[in-house]
Structure 1
Amino acid sequence: MRFFIVFICLIAAQPAHAGAWAREKGQLFIASGGNLLLSDGAELPVHYDPTLYVEYGLSHLMTVGIDYHTADQGRIDTGFAFARFPLGDTTRRDKVAASFALGARVDEYNPMERLMRGGLSWGRGLDRGWLAVDYTATYGDIDQVFRSKADFTWGHNLTDRWTTTLQLQTGEGFDDDIYAKISPSILFTINDRYRVGVGAVQALTGDRGSALKFDIWTTY
């Protein structure tokens, strides 16, 4: 069922969902994707990793949404409902936003764990792109541990239709391990509503596996 839901979002489904920028009021954004063609032995921290991300501009100062992903070789499902709001002057070049989320984590070996997540995002628009840093800390009511995650993104608009991105993803895994992976991508704008991305993801820790990455984004 998990893969069926993500597959439907892929065939049904704008710049990457950088958290520092608020979604326009009344605008709906959906991003879905996952990894394909895993290298031999790729299990942690790179696996198929299907994701679904939805956000909606509730007002010019509040963005709400849901965030779903898997981890630990696909054995753990995690979902959040979140709200995000800007901090400080929204007209300045450097954007800062905070977020708060409630969710749950489920796996076949343990009872459902309720989660609470807080986050901070920074972003800066460039002449032909952007820089972004997104940090979150998640607390579970069973293991009672804060687990942090930080993503660093650089995006560059080659033309009106083609964009390249480079992202470094870091964080703390469920076995108290520290993971890192790097992901370069190229994005193609089909029209004002749809965008597709193809890239690679390479683990810098764990088994150092790699995969082909595919994403579809849409905006209503």
Structure 2
Amino acid sequence: MGFIFVIIGLLLAAQQGAAGPWPRERGQVFTAQGGNFLLSDGAQLPVHYDPTFYAEYGLTELMTVGLDYHTADQGRIHTGFAFLSFPLGDTDARDRYAASLGYGARIDEYSPLEWMVRGGFSWGRGLDNGWLAIDTTASYGTVDQSFRPKADFTWGHHLNDRWTVSLQLQTGEGYSDDYYAKISPAISFALNEEYRVSIGAVQGLTGDQGSALKVELWRTHTFGRKELRALFGE
């Protein structure tokens, strides 16, 4: 099964919903939720069911706020962050840069509630009908008292207005002081102007090298002026 997913990864690619260094438009909301299914035999680390929820909102033209929830370590650890991201440098340049700051908590069934801070840095470059991006973060917990880095490397390509393919390499440090790497290929397609489905795979390159089918539902909605006035009293 793992071999099949590697072949799929070479043929396709999968896009993550996060905007990276590109801020959301003012009033635009983006959400992504999903998880892994059809796990290969023995898949536990670094690939498991891994349900996730991610949201972004364009607070201003240059400021994006959001929520990020995910699980780790076979679903034993739950982590959630509220974050703020903003561009660095020229927002019209070919190479884009952004920074982010986050505050959240981690729940571990074997440990007390742990408050966390997270800093991030992103780089991206627009290509003909696609993009390249590197998103890095480092988190610090009040109980763990360790900085744990994470880096995602993404290539994407728009086949047309409806279909997009990309390939992402995800790396980082786990909570057992081990390092992980996994490749996540997929293809996404637009159901309509608001909803998009991403279907692909995730293949562990470390640990037990397990694999799974990955499915996510994305929604992008832009509030109109009347809706913004109702929210902010403008």
TM-score of Structure 1 vs Structure 2, range by shorter chain: over 0.9
What residue is the counterpart of 1:3 in the other structure?
A: none
CA distance in 2, matches of 1:184, 1:65: 24
For the 8 Å contact 1:18–1:134, the answer to whether it is kept is no
Structure 2 letter corresponding to 1:164: V
Kindly indicate whether residue 95 of structure 2 is the aligned counterpart of residue 94 of structure 1. yes
CA distance in 1, matches of 2:107, 2:18: 25
Question: Structure 1 residues 35 and 15, CA, compared in 2 at 3 Å: closer, same or farther?
Answer: closer
Q: Deviation of residue 133 (structure 1)?
A: 0.4
CA distance in 1, matches of 2:110, 2:192: 44
What residue is the counterpart of 1:178 in the other structure?
A: 179
What residue is the counterpart of 1:205 in the other structure?
A: 206
CA distance in 2, matches of 1:202, 1:64: 30
What residue is the counterpart of 2:149 in the other structure?
A: 148
Greater relative contact order (Cα 8 A, min sep 6): structure 1 or 2? 2
CA distance in 1, matches of 2:195, 2:16: 10
CA distance in 1, matches of 2:179, 2:19: 23
Q: Deviation of residue 165 (structure 1)?
A: 1.0
What residue is the counterpart of 1:6 in the other structure?
A: none
CA distance in 2, matches of 1:219, 1:159: 18
Structure 1 stretches of 5 or more lacking a match?
A: 1-13
Taking only aligned residues, the RMSD between alpha carbons, in angstroms, comes to 1.0
What residue is the counterpart of 2:116 in the other structure?
A: 115
Structure whose CA Rg is larger: 2
What residue is the counterpart of 2:76 in the other structure?
A: 75
What residue is the counterpart of 2:57 in the other structure?
A: 56
Q: Deviation of residue 15 (structure 1)?
A: 7.2
The secondary structure found in structure 2 opposite 1:137 is strand
TM-score by length of structure 1 reads: 0.92
Percent identical among aligned pairs is 70
For the 8 Å contact 1:32–1:215, the answer to whether it is kept is yes
Q: Deviation of residue 93 (structure 1)?
A: 0.9
Aligned residue pair count: 207
CA distance in 2, matches of 1:46, 1:18: 23
The secondary structure found in structure 1 opposite 2:59 is strand
Question: Structure 1 residues 162 and 211, CA, compared in 2 at 3 Å: closer, same or farther?
Answer: same
What residue is the counterpart of 2:224 in the other structure?
A: none
For the 8 Å contact 1:69–1:79, the answer to whether it is kept is yes
CA distance in 2, matches of 1:115, 1:121: 20
List structure 1 segments (4+ residues) > 3 angstroms apart after TM superposition. Answer: none
Deviations 1:143-170 (CA, angstroms, capped at 9, x unpaired): 1100000000000111221111100000
The secondary structure found in structure 2 opposite 1:59 is coil
Structure 2 stretches of 5 or more lacking a match?
A: 1-14, 222-234
What residue is the counterpart of 1:138 in the other structure?
A: 139
The secondary structure found in structure 1 opposite 2:48 is coil
The secondary structure found in structure 1 opposite 2:17 is coil
